[in-house]
Amino acid sequence: MFGVSYVFVYYAEQYVVSGLVAVGYSASPLLGMLGLRLFYGTPMTRRMAIGSILGIVGITLVFWPEFARLEGDRNVAIGAVYTALAVVISSAGSMIAHRNHDAGIAVWQAMAWGMLYGALSALAMAIGAGKALGFEASVPYVASLLYLTLAGSILAFAAYLTLLARIGAAKSGYTGVMVPIVALMISAVFEGFNWSILTVIGIAISVGGNVLVLRR
């Protein structure tokens, strides 16, 4: 969850548009539901399945203009494989987090060990790929590194693992659907992203799926 899956996301986005990766992660609730059924015997509900499918459909509509620019070449296939690996590994991490919660392991303790293992695995992959380690002593580099460390990792995963403990891996996996929507809102402010009718319809469908999944 903390290391290998993120590395695969970065590799995936070297080959395909970010929209394809976002759609891959919108399958997280379905994978979470299947994983809970397979490993823990948790019953699958029709409402969860429908909500998860709505999430995938909504995110697909949001990023449809990007898909229209894709060309059917080898790079797309490679990017799709990296995306699938990232989503499957991340979902497996959620299953382990579910197991840790059932075992009574505290969120902060589990997260600290997970981040240590994630950092070591990412370091091993970088060294294995022959990549040089470096650090840039500039304000943009250090500021972005601090943001990813504090907000994007420590606070974000503490919130996610707490959510997972409260509502389960399947429902908490719906963050994979909502994250691209939040990213689009931020992009509209800072990058001038232009919303189309498909964007609005796609977000409405995804939010509808979210309500369906999370309602009592």
Q: Residue 141: pLDDT above 90?
A: yes
- What is the 3-state secondary structure of the chain? CCCHHHHHHHHHCCCCCHHHHHHHHCCHHHHHHHHHHHHHCCCCCHHHHHHHHHHHHHHHHHCHHHHHCCCCCHHHHHHHHHHHHHHHHHHHHHHHHHHHHHCCCCHHHHHHHHHHHHHHHHHHHHHHCCCCCCCCCCHHHHHHHHHHHHHHHHHHHHHHHHHHHHHCHHHHCCHHHHHHHHHHHHHHHHCCCCCCHHHHHHHHHHHHHHHHHHCC
pLDDT recorded at residue 72: 62
Mean of pLDDT over the chain: 88
Tokens of 52: 């998860």
Higher pLDDT, 12 or 68: 12
What per-residue confidence (pLDDT) applies to 86?
Answer: 93
Average pLDDT over residues 116-133: 92
Counting residues of the chain whose pLDDT is more than 70, the rounded percentage is 98
Q: Are 191 and 54 in contact (CB under 8 A)?
A: no
Whole-number pLDDT of residue 170: 80
Q: Which pTM does this prediction carry?
A: 0.79
- Is the pLDDT at 145 greater than 90, yes or no? yes
Q: How confident is the model at residue 71 (pLDDT cuts 50, 70, 90)?
A: low
What does the pLDDT look like over 15-61, one tens digit per residue?
Answer: 887 777 888 888 888 888 888 888 888 888 888 889 889 989 998 89
For the stretch 42-45, contacts whose Cβ atoms lie closer than 8 Å and that sit 24 or more positions apart, written own/partner, are 42/168, 42/170
Q: What is the mean pLDDT of residues 199-206?
A: 91
pLDDT tens digits, 151-199: 988 999 899 999 988 888 888 888 888 888 888 888 888 888 888 899 8
Structure tokens at 38: 């397979």
